[in-house]
Structure 1
């Protein structure tokens, strides 16, 4: 793919720059981002840069130079993967363009009193968090595994649709107060450029309120459910567990 008046080149470059594996390349250029403190990895270099990618379990290699992108894929995977992969690149490029000037926000659920209307029970604020995925304190192997899992998930929407599953990924974080669970969730949201919805289950929510809260979230967002242990232990376990499971895996999830 050559750069001269090539729409696909620009979109593919944006896609490659979004890959988490770009950080593992032997050589990339660093530039200041649009926001204070942001550092952007770039392919604008005279040296060839090799970036690895995977799609539908196929290994894909990009050789990137300033005005040229070379895609390498095994011949046995070409027919199965190439066209869906190009379609995937276009979808990711569209998302990148939409998020380019978007301000990330964090949403907090309100407490409900007797007779309160459960509609509009989110308060939002600009999402500014000092931590990043690289600075969060976590075992390097675990961090690499989570990052790889997120990257694989982002590419799997077509597969989820094919098998009739909701495109969603869940993680269970366990630990005492102050051990960094919420911070880790915040860094994942920043890594994905997703809005963060922070649901505090200690605010006396029933199953219906949980469903409405979920229906008011936006697509491509990260939903953090806090105080799950309090919710399960503080009420009738059967009812609480059923409500939580329906919230996480029900029809409206």
Structure 2
């Protein structure tokens, strides 16, 4: 009896131990579950509170605004306290866009390696920088990403920061002309940022022609509503033709400087240019801009279904310029040395609205150029240059080359001009 009771006692003790382990395991599981739920719930609540207290905006190097905000961050006084930064002399390595480059001597862009906190107009702004990889047409490319998290901010505050950044960026560029060219990846790349050229530096004949073209361009840019009301595509095309060195490209640069427009240059001989990439390039240029196609006669001489250059066809060229999907609000300038070689379809009204012929130097052009070039020259000495250059004999480029070669000696410059004229007369390269 004693042994049985002892056995029962041990059996009860065994089951009590089992119950304790099971109960303890359940309690631990329950507590762990509560901890996990509490942690996730706490994280969810904290994230929700953080999102409600901050306003977040993202900028990618594919867009023009990336340059505005990057330049603004670089000049913010709080950024001077950052200890880990990346330094760039341009934006070229930050991603494909319109990856322009504001590369100027002594000018740099500073960006955080990871993150940095800035304070602006009473708000704290956390700036985070990272990269994103995108793939298009089996080609991978990296883009820089800037995220601005504004504590207590709002959309209106963000827009005010963006407008401030844009205004500051454009103020630094207002006296410059930005020039873009398509690179090997068929992306716009800023190849130059030059001091804006004055219209008075372009010597044309008759003298008032340059002013007339600028007025025509300005009127067009201000007429979007008028064009829409008449059902006319908002486009304007100009053909500049004449001997090389007569100032065609110089006029385009001066117009860009006068109207504060960027210039987008497409080289039709680019072997990677296709119908699709040509249309895409044109549509990704700025709306208010100048599209420049130089030496169009060198790309093709007659209409055909064959390639113009690389894989670009003649029809692809025309569709890109003024097809249904082509961009409006842009000034198209085409230059050629041989107007007679161009296909009528390219220069028909609607594609080319204004044709402008350039000539070799007339006496009035020689007079103005020499007067502007030499500070201490008399009227009689100027007339010697005019008499030495028969009308329509030498180009502005040839005259300029002679003067630059002897910039400190007007007498030697005059001798050089006479020598060039004599050579051209002997070779019969004159048009007068």
TM-score, scaled relative to structure 2: 0.32
- Alignment partners' CA distance in 2, 1:104 and 1:174: 23
Give the equivalent residue in structure 1 for 2:300. 232
CA offset at residue 128 of structure 1?
Answer: 0.7
CA offset at residue 176 of structure 1?
Answer: 3.0
Give the equivalent residue in structure 2 for 1:135. 201
Contact 2:177 2:195 survives alignment (8 Å) = no
CA offset at residue 151 of structure 1?
Answer: 2.9
Give the equivalent residue in structure 1 for 2:44. none
Task: Choose the corresponding residue for 1:162, options 211, 229, 242.
Answer: 229
Q: Secondary structure at the match of 1:171?
A: strand
Whether 2:255 is the aligned partner of 1:188: answer yes
Where does structure 1 lack aligned partners over 5 or more consecutive residues?
A: 1-95
Report the CA distance shift for 1:186/1:213 in structure 2 as closer, same or farther (over 3 A).
Answer: same
Report the CA distance shift for 1:236/1:246 in structure 2 as closer, same or farther (over 3 A).
Answer: same
Report the CA distance shift for 1:128/1:145 in structure 2 as closer, same or farther (over 3 A).
Answer: same
Q: Secondary structure at the match of 1:197?
A: strand
Aligned residue runs from structure 1 range 1-253, under 5 A: 99-102=170-173, 104-110=177-183, 112=184, 117-118=185-186, 120=187, 122-129=188-195, 131-138=197-204, 139-204=206-271, 205-233=273-301, 237-239=304-306, 240-250=313-323, 251-253=325-327
- Alignment partners' CA distance in 2, 1:168 and 1:241: 20
CA offset at residue 126 of structure 1?
Answer: 4.2
Contact 1:196 1:224 survives alignment (8 Å) = yes
CA offset at residue 100 of structure 1?
Answer: 4.0
Report the CA distance shift for 1:127/1:165 in structure 2 as closer, same or farther (over 3 A).
Answer: farther
Deviations 1:187-211 (A, max 9, x none): 1111110111111112132222211
Which stretch of the first structure deviates more once superposed, 167-176 or 100-109? 100-109
Where does structure 2 lack aligned partners over 5 or more consecutive residues?
A: 1-166, 307-312, 328-432
Contact 1:129 1:186 survives alignment (8 Å) = no
CA offset at residue 109 of structure 1?
Answer: 1.4
Report the CA distance shift for 1:150/1:130 in structure 2 as closer, same or farther (over 3 A).
Answer: closer
CA offset at residue 99 of structure 1?
Answer: 4.8
CA offset at residue 222 of structure 1?
Answer: 0.8
Deviations 1:72-112 (A, max 9, x none): xxxxxxxxxxxxxxxxxxxxxxxx999544464210112x4
- Alignment partners' CA distance in 1, 2:227 and 2:214: 19
Q: Secondary structure at the match of 1:208?
A: helix
TM-score, scaled relative to structure 1: 0.52
- Alignment partners' CA distance in 1, 2:207 and 2:305: 38
Give the equivalent residue in structure 2 for 1:44. none
Contact 2:196 2:258 survives alignment (8 Å) = no
- Alignment partners' CA distance in 2, 1:249 and 1:131: 29
Higher relative contact order (CA 8 A, sep 6+): 1
Q: Which has the larger radius of gyration?
A: 2
- Alignment partners' CA distance in 1, 2:225 and 2:196: 34
Q: Secondary structure at the match of 2:292?
A: strand
Contact 1:202 1:227 survives alignment (8 Å) = no
Deviations 1:36-72 (A, max 9, x none): xxxxxxxxxxxxxxxxxxxxxxxxxxxxxxxxxxxxx
Contact 1:196 1:221 survives alignment (8 Å) = yes
